[in-house]
A and B are shown apart, each in its own frame.
Chain A
């Protein structure tokens, strides 16, 4: 067991405008570890890194470096160095002076500096670049210099803030492996920040998944991938099919329009979130399948096909080396081991919505009054009504899916069936103290969870009113 090098205790960062970027963050990092903060933009990962570097001071909490609190120490007194997102090389200095900058602050002799610069340039494979100016270097080379400039100081911890974000895909892949190798060679603790889950899975010993300023899960890449702790992690890491469902018996769960056997022993009647990875779905004949549906899309992805099967209103994304044809009616089954069941945390309902021929959002054949351009970052509506993305390319409604999420407490139940966005029959109800939690099974084989303070009966036919302003949308491009 290696010792802890840095420990963050109850770290909270609230800005002057009241925005809390990080709340009650607890984490320790072991010496020599490669740890990655992973999360979407705005999740607080960079803020956390900046607090470790000393550029931001936490509002509350302690940062212990080798047991000593450094939370209020200025950055220049911390034995920690940073590789910045956009390199942050000093443009008016040549490569030698850039790398020597940190050593000069420590008043090292010119001889020592010269040797160290030479050695570190060898490490990053840029021997002989001493006299070059920053502007003559490519992005990848600048990134190596930025790494060299940080590493030459032999920091106890190296912080890397999305260091590969500005590089093209091929360069990024190369640098991932190089960084990993460098980490092994140097033995320095790396704290890495990225929003790229593949990068995190490839490089890290430990991944910290963050969302909205909070840690969602800490674990090895395998743990995070195979045993996601909640729907957010499952959705963020890798591709997954996520269903709301309910335990219907011992080791039996109903979700996605069928009853599956599973290995998680959870009490009957518990609301669950089920995660099935696309590569774990087996396509069978309709008779053999636990659920059945029609193939709506098959895309060749190189090593496998990505197949989308629609079963009722549920959609299953499947990765397989053998492809059925679009329009085929197929069965699907999943090995019980490959079904990951989590007790639903907040029971948020996830469902797919369509983009209709007018490029407006539609669910269950009813228009949703929201702007598609707001959901797709940087997009705008063209004069003919279609939508172009940030790159100016017209979005094909056939190939674009949007998933919507709504919390049960925001769904209103009504007996005026036509008033609802969707209707169904109550198949389960649980009393939750101050309200009832209902499971409504729709004709489209979807289960919705809705909270209501009034008592309805099992089997009641109800409409569900889902206000569009309470929904959150996410673009899922196929």
Chain B
């Protein structure tokens, strides 16, 4: 009895978690104009999604932004983590704390304050993309730091010394010994940064150029508007993103399992 109840409960949770996106996915393959009335199977949402220049540019722009911001954030976050790790205890715990604040801080506050500083105080135009990129790097770098630090702590500290002892300069030791040891942390930091940037709405609204949209800002505007073809094409976009995410999670879990098996 209890076993059955627990199964039902799990099923209930799974339905809550997955039903919304499944409904959207189903509707994306129809020619319905709004949720409720299904008339027939159609791929026209997908055609619109990949052929409308506006949509295509928006998607490409978002992805490029995510990759650039994640790359910069990964470099900064990794450097910060390594620097903090090899600093004296007080310094490193101070950096740890300072790094926590932006992680916990509300995005809307981060976005707004970056906008104030860069655009209003420093007078940098939003059209240069600089405020947007800096905003996203600020958002992502602390998370990269957080995913690299544990790898450094797990690393056998004496291997860095061993490299120096064998004649490597600190730079070589860092490149050939430390970085490969923390690579998995850097990679997961990078993927986290990409997702964070793709996800972000608040920082982008405050810092993006008026003519540029990320998926988030675009979706928010489009759902407010009355353009039905675009709106239903976004169902297709949601479905595509969902499939990519599922693939990513499955592949990375399989990889992790393989690695564990190898150990």
Could you list which residues of chain A lie within 8 angstroms of chain B, going by C-beta atoms? 16, 53-55, 74-76, 80-82, 84-86, 88-92, 101-102, 105-106, 135, 149-150, 153
Contact = CB atoms under 8 A, between A and B. Distances in A.
Contacts of A153: 166-167
B157 to A, nearest CB: 9
Interface residues of B, number: 20
B141 to A, nearest CB: 25
Nearest to B158: A88
Given A84-B158, A91-B181, A101 B263 contact: no
B75 interface: no
B180 interface: yes
A101 B158 contact: no
Interface in B153-182: 156, 158-159, 161-170, 172, 176-177, 180-181
Contacts of A149: 166
Most buried by A among B165, B167, B172: B165
A102 B88 CA distance: 28
A218 B158 CA distance: 29
A96 B263 CA distance: 20
B166 A105 contact: yes
Contacts of B161: 53, 55, 75, 82, 84, 88
11 contacts: A75-B165, A76-B168, A82-B165, A88-B158, A90-B159, A90-B163, A92-B180, A101-B163, A102-B166, A102-B167, A150-B165
A135 B262 CA distance: 10
Contact of B181 (A16, A54, A85, A92): A92
Interface string B166-209: 11111010001100110000000000000000000000000000
SS of B interface (majority):
helix
B57 to A, nearest CB: 41
Contacts of B172: 105
Interface of B: 88, 156, 158-159, 161-170, 172, 176-177, 180-181, 263
A413 B55 CA distance: 95
Contacts of B164: 54-55, 74-76
A81 B181 contact: no
Contacts of A85: 158
B96 to A, nearest CB: 20
Contacts of A135: 263
A135 B156 CA distance: 14
A53 B158 contact: no
Contacts of B156: 86, 88, 91
Contacts of A92: 180-181
A74 B170 CA distance: 10
A65 to B, nearest CB: 15
Contact of A101 (B166, B170, B181): B166
A90 B177 contact: yes
A36 B263 CA distance: 37
Contacts of B176: 101
A105 B158 CA distance: 18
A82 B165 CA distance: 7
Contact of B167 (A55, A91, A106): A106
Given A86-B156, A105-B172, A135-B263, A76 B165 contact: yes
B241 to A, nearest CB: 34
Nearest to A91: B181
Contact of A76 (B88, B159, B169, B177): B169
- 5 nearest A-B pairs in the assembled complex, by CB-CB distance: A102-B166, A105-B167, A88-B158, A88-B162, A75-B164
B128 to A, nearest CB: 41
A110 to B, nearest CB: 17
Contacts of A76: 164-170
Contact of B162 (A16, A54, A80, A90): A90
B87 to A, nearest CB: 13
Nearest to B177: A90
Contacts of B263: 135
Contacts of A101: 163, 166, 168, 176
Contacts of A106: 167
A74 B159 CA distance: 16
